[in-house]
Structure 1
Amino acid sequence: MSEEESLEEILKNLLASIPEVQSAAVVSIEGLPIASALPPDVDETRIAAMTAAILSLAERAAQEFGKGLFEQVFVRGQNGYVLTMAAGANAVLTISTSKNVKLGLIFLDTKRTCDKIAKFV
């Protein structure tokens, strides 16, 4: 199994384990797509670019406010959530969920998923 197939399998398992998770992408800290489990109408490159922008702003905000290294950004919209979290030193995981998701479960499972991803990148 190649590295990319392994990462895609990790993402598919995350989506399968929590039905409210609608999509997921692993992005390099430079904003390049690494692996994804996205709906067909979602552009992987655009998601990667937006993830890089979120990461850049979050790192800067954490630094300016003296909060340490970036761990996670949480965005709540009317129809659900977008979470971006560190997945090792070289990548981040971005997921999209429905509004009915149990946040505690998401935080736990995405932490485990990020630990798995960090071993690959």
Structure 2
Amino acid sequence: MPDTIDMVDKILADLKRVGGVEACAAASRDGLLIRGVLQKEQLAESIAAMSATMLGAAETATIEFGKGIPQRIIVETANGRLITTGAGPKALLIVIVNSETGLGLILLELEKAAMKLKELLP
């Protein structure tokens, strides 16, 4: 049976194959990098930490206003998007997407990957 890291790597590799996804990573809820598929590997730890902080801030804000826990955060720029979504109580998934790609398929595949990661890290 493959070990947990191999299974996380497979989830990320499958996510990376989705058209428009330039990079992806799995991180703990407190921002520690679990695994990442990024061209600039040295940035993976920073992206994990910053994404966890943004998702935590979004959760605090939406709960404060009585809107519940956000499903995801999407940061849009002229050059692309950074999407972070929760993957259970212990993890989150992060993808970086180019600006020309529609989000429908990416969000669908991101949700599937998040469910797999949630089952892997209950």
Fold shared per TM-score above 0.5: yes
Bigger shift: residues 44-53 or 74-83: 44-53
Aligned residue in 1 for 2:36: 36
Does 2:60 correspond to 1:48? no
Question: Sequence identity, in percent?
Answer: 32
**Matched residue type, 2:34:** I
What is the Cα deviation at residue 41 of structure 1? Answer: 4.8
- How far is the alpha carbon of 1:42 from its aligned partner? 4.2
Which structure 1 residue ranges, 5 or more long, are not aligned? Answer: none
Counterparts in 2 of 1:41 and 1:30: CA distance versus 1, 3 Å: closer
TM-score w.r.t. the length of structure 2 is: 0.92
Q: Distance in 1 between matches of 2:70 and 2:81?
A: 18
**Which residue number corresponds to residue 14 of structure 2?**
13
Render the CA deviation track for 1:78-119: whole Å, top value 9, x for unaligned. Answer: 011110001111111111000111211111111111001111
The verdict on how the C-alpha distance between 1:34 and 1:41 changes in structure 2, with shifts beyond 3 A counting, is closer
Distance 1:68 1:41 in 2: 34
Q: 1:81: which partner in 2?
A: 81
Classify the secondary structure of the residue corresponding to 1:66: coil
Give the ranges of 4+ consecutive aligned residues of structure 1 lying more than 3 Å apart after TM superposition: none
Aligned AA for 1:26?
A: A
RMSD: 1.2
Structure 2 unmatched ranges of 5 or more: none
User: Does residue 94 of structure 1 match 2:94?
Assistant: yes
2:67 is the counterpart of 1:67: yes
Q: Which amino acid aligns with 2:10?
A: E
Q: Quote the offset at 1:48 in angstroms.
A: 1.5
- Relative to the length of structure 1, the TM-score reads 0.92
Aligned partner of 1:12: which letter?
A
